[in-house]
Structure 1
Amino acid sequence: MTKALERRQKLRAALIQAAEQMIAERGLAGLKTRDLAREIGCANGAVYNLVADVDELILRVGSRTLLRLDEALTLATNAGEPTPRESLVRIALAYCDFAAENLQLWRALFEHRMETGKLVPDWSVHDQMQLFRHIYQPLAALFPGRSPEELGITARSLFSAVHGMVALGLEQKLVAVPLPALRKEITGLVRAMIDGLIAHDVKGAAAAD
């Protein structure tokens, strides 16, 4: 590796880290390339020699956030040998806790919009979709008769329900919910959804007989 390439890689890593810190402190709207350039010690225009554009920079920060979320979800289900049902509860609570502890970075994952006509690159889509395995695996154990497509839909539905509660519960306005109460409500929601899905499958199997 040449010294110039090594310097560029170090500067690029510093840029992404500085952007992550700026979003964490100011929110996505507070991300300014001029401030980032000053922070890492380069010209403003040099930022675009390190990343293609602001979209890529935000997605790179997002991938770092998703990696840490992935680690948090893995840790939540590694302790002991939880049942699939309990694993889903732990995953939901870990998601809620991560969002509360990394609020601005978590919000940025959903607030960011690509420029019109631009597609999210494959590497970013892959980083996002990887997280669904945490939900998919316990669902596959609970519902072995469901097809991969059906399990995928159920996983997304469960995520949407939990994400909606977290998003509203952590909103710093009138609908804000204290974190302990939010965690309790999320636990009840996940258990109720799983119990309902199990009952639905049992009823369907009985009707088929």
Structure 2
Amino acid sequence: MPSAHRPALSRARLATLTLLTLVSVLTGCSADPDPTARVVPSASAPGTPRSGQPTAFDAPAAPAAPAEVAVPSVGITSSLMELGLNTDGTVEVPPAEEGMTAGWYTGGAVPGEIGAAVIIGHNDTRFGEAVFHDLKKIKEGADITVTDKTGKALHFTVTATESVAKNAFPTEKVYGPTQERALRLITCDGDFDAQGHPVDNLIVYATAS
């Protein structure tokens, strides 16, 4: 089991979630995925209405959730499922049988908002090559397009890529607070261990164009 990490959540999620433990992000590239994060509800934020009572202030409209991600330079296009929490408090990843579909982690920022938005996809599964199999070919400066559920296209420019050991996952760098409109794509990478799991993660860093 990978070592635990303690990332920071985006501001948009601080009112409802407190992150307790993050296990290195794994995307189950050749077997079932390992858990990624543990969170629990926090106390209500100041001003949160109780028992459904309205407040004197109207809450701002929530940003539209992402519906699709595309990386034209490496031939990736995928609809996005929402990844929440498992019953044990760990972050979901796309099921192996849906390996050609990536997922947006709803505990992070909404793509295009200030903070780190995270999209997770498999490299390979027991069914074969998966949605992010060719993500390793991406280059700095490449465009990543995220289209939200209203049809609005948001563009991000790749600033860096990084292959890291899963037991040394840079949690704060990936999930920590940022004033940028940041996007991270994560998949598996590297050689396989004795159990058939890739030992590394590939992380693609991008910022809104």
TM range (shorter): under 0.3
Please say which structure displays the higher CA radius of gyration.
1
- Which structure shows the bigger proportion of residues in strand conformation? 2
**TM-score, length-scaled by structure 2:** 0.23
**TM-score, length-scaled by structure 1:** 0.23
- Which structure shows the bigger proportion of residues in helix conformation? 1
Bigger relative contact order (CA 8 A; separation at least 6): 2
